[in-house]
Amino acid sequence: MAEIIVFYDFLQFLGNLNFVTEPKRYKRKTYIRSILISLSNLFQFGHAGNIIALILFLSPLPTFLKIVRAKSVQAYRPDPYVATILNCGMWMFYSLPIVHPDSLLVFTINCAGFTIELVFITIFLTYSTWGGRKKIIIVLVMEALFAAAVVVVTLMCFHTYASRSLVVGMVCVFFNILMYAAPLTVMVRK
């Protein structure tokens, strides 16, 4: 997404150039029009990516329907859902205008993912034992404290969009990897 923003700034620069002869101006307009059509196609790919990500966030729905029907979490673990909450929270912070401007698509899909995962965690908390609830609540509190620390450090120590985007982006990528690795915790024996 950052590459698109840089490319858009380049296009604005091209739009501000003054060419002397008429044929060059015509070529410039045609070139810019073709580039804008390409950007429109990229934006449509962004929407397609959001739809695919929404399907990914909704993929545990059959599992939670089983949990609700059985009124028990059975042997399911909450690790992937708790990891996804932190991942979506970090990406929501990344996409705020104070960190990385013009990231509307990133913000909307991660808000949706955060909300979906909160519903899943609520279902998990409702049907798990007290020991399971306690662990989930402790992890969620630790995640909230970590997210608050990232926000404070980012806003206090980094003063440019580039530095904020870099630092928060690296944190987001790390937690994105953890989110996709979290389902592997079912392989660990209790």
Mean pLDDT for the stretch of residues 10-39: 50
**In the prediction, which pLDDT does 41 show?**
59
Using the predicted structure, report yes or no on whether residue 39 has a pLDDT greater than 70: no
Tell me: the pLDDT tens digits for 71-110?
999 888 898 999 999 999 999 999 998 898 888 888 999 9
**In the prediction, which pLDDT does 182 show?**
87
Which residues touch 124 (CB under 8 Å, ≥6 apart)?
64, 67, 73, 76, 78, 81, 132, 136
Which residues touch 107 (CB under 8 Å, ≥6 apart)?
92, 95, 96
Is 86 exposed, middle or buried, given 0-12, 13-18 or 19+ CB atoms closer than 10 A?
buried
Tell me: the pLDDT tens digits for 51-77?
888 999 999 999 999 999 999 998 888
Q: How many Å apart are CA 26 and CA 94, to the nearest integer? A: 40
Whether this model's pTM surpasses 0.85:
no
Burial 35-45 (b: 16+ CB within 10 A, else e): eeeeeeeeeee
For the chain, the average pLDDT equals: 81
What is the token pair recorded at 183? 């389902």
Q: How many Å apart are CA 12 and CA 129, to the nearest integer? A: 58
pLDDT higher at 190 or 1 = 190
